């Protein structure tokens, strides 16, 4: 499963006084199995971009290829695209509506006509760390983090090849946030599926992803490994994004004369770098 975005532009309310050029000439390629963090401050175009990937929004210019096939081409099935690219919206728990957790999660695979919808739902719930004891609970009596996990399971149960999560940790406390990110990370490794994790926080995603794409005002500003992207921490600040705290710490140590490797992006890597320096 790979996606290629070529010269994609999108304008909301074109030709009206409210016209908004939300995506400006986006070019990206996401290969199979990659874990991507899509970062940018509010209004930078993240949600608009990811809604193109499962065909919910039709580009006003440019092309998108799914496994090499033009999704706007004549014989392309948008229905198939939507079943292969699972999109979990921001605050997805607002879309929980069934009487109990298992029924809710079974809805998607049933709707797709999967023969073993309930089995798929159980498997999806297992993947997000929710066992049998939750099957008959009402989604509405769960905690915020649990509701979010049920909503993610609802998309996973449709067995997408690519999973897009739009700000999956928004509004959760640190514990709920870490739980969700750990589950997603495990899932990505276990299943080898392509994951696009949308976030406005660098710190949240840095430790998990292979690649960070930074958006600003509808354009891709940086694209690389977390280390490559965080080297631009001063420019990131200019567009209202901060690199992880440890990036600043290591930079400060370096400026004060310590011969440390400043590339650390997680606390663990920073500890190693400091230890190496102390041993020298």
Binding site for ligand ADP (CB under 6 A): 12-13, 20, 22, 40, 42-48
Q: Is the dihedral of CA 93, 85, 180, 263 positive or negative?
A: negative
| Nearest-approach distance from CB 254 to Mg ion, in angstroms | 35
43 or 129: whose CB is closer to ligand ADP?
43
- The count of other CB atoms within 10 Å of the CB of residue 72 is 13
Tell the smallest beta-carbon distance from residue 100 to ligand ADP (Å): 32
Residue 48 near which of Mg ion, ligand ADP, none (CB within 5-8 Å, type-dependent) = ligand ADP
* CB of residue 177 to ligand ADP, shortest distance in Å: 18
Q: CB-based burial of residue 6 (10 Å sphere; 0-12 exposed, 13-18 middle, 19+ buried)?
A: middle
Residue 209 or 215 with smaller CB distance to ligand ADP = 215
What is the smallest separation between the CB atom of 23 and Mg ion, expressed in angstroms? 13
Q: What's the per-residue H, E or C state across 189-255?
A: HHHCCEEEEEECCHHHHHCCCCEEEEEECCEEEEEECHHHHHCCHHHHHHCCCCCCHHHHHHHHHHH
Q: Which is nearer to Mg ion, 10 or 134 (CB)?
A: 10
Count the alpha carbons within 13 Å of 144 in the hemisphere toward its beta carbon: 12
Cβ distance to ligand ADP smaller for residue 10 or 208: 10
Shortest distance (Å) from residue 166 CB to Mg ion: 6
Ranked by CB distance to Mg ion, the top (closest) residue is 47
Q: Which does 247 bind (CB under 5 to 8 A by kind): Mg ion, ligand ADP, none?
A: none
Q: Which of residues 37-96 bind Mg ion (CB under 5 A)?
A: 47
Residue 43, binding choice from Mg ion, ligand ADP, none, Cβ under 5 to 8 Å by partner class: ligand ADP
Q: What is the rounded distance in angstroms from the CA atom of residue 148 to the CA atom of residue 101?
A: 12
CB closer to ligand ADP out of 239 and 249: 239
135 binds, among Mg ion, ligand ADP, none (CB under 5 to 8 A by kind): none
CB 87 within 8 A of CB 95: no
Counting beta carbons within 10 angstroms of the beta carbon of residue 68, is it exposed (0 to 12), middle (13 to 18) or buried (19 or more)? exposed
40 binds, among Mg ion, ligand ADP, none (CB under 5 to 8 A by kind): ligand ADP
Q: Which two three-digit tokens encode residue 42?
A: 């509010």
Shortest spacing between CB 90 and Mg ion, in angstroms? 6
* Nearest of 151, 155, 162 to residue 188 by alpha carbon: 162
C-alpha–C-alpha distance, residues 74 and 173, integer Å: 46
The residues of the shown chain that bind Mg ion, judged by CB under 5 A, are: 47
């Amino acid at each position: 499963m790979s996606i290629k975005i070529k010269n994609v532009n999108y304008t909301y309310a074109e030709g009206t006084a409210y016209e908004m050029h939300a995506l400006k000439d986006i070019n990206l390629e996401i290969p199979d199995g990659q874990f991507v963090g899509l970062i940018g401050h509010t209004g930078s175009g993240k949600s608009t971009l990811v809604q193109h990937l499962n065909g919910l929004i039709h580009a006003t210019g440019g092309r998108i290829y799914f496994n090499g096939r033009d999704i706007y081409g004549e014989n392309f099935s948008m229905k198939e695209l939507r079943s292969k690219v699972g999109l979990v919206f921001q605050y997805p728990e607002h879309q929980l509506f069934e009487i109990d957790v298992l029924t809710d999660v079974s809805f998607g695979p049933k709707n797709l006509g999967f023969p073993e919808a309930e089995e798929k739902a159980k498997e999806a719930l297992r993947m997000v760390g929710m066992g049998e004891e939750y099957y008959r609970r009402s989604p509405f009596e769960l905690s915020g983090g649990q509701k979010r996990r049920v909503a993610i399971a609802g998309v996973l149960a449709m067995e997408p090849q690519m999973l897009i999560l739009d700000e999956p940790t928004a509004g959760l406390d640190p514990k709920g946030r870490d739980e969700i990110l750990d589950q997603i990370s495990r899932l990505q490794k276990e299943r080898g599926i392509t994951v696009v994790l949308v976030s406005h926080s660098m710190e949240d995603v840095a430790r998990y992803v292979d690649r960070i794409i930074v958006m600003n005002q509808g354009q891709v500003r940086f694209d690389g490994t977390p280390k490559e992207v965080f080297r631009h921490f001063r420019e990131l600040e200019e567009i209202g994004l901060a690199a992880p705290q440890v990036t600043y710490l290591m930079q400060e140590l370096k400026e004060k004369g310590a011969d440390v490797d400043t590339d650390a992006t997680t606390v663990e890597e920073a500890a190693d770098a400091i230890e190496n320096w102390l041993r020298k």
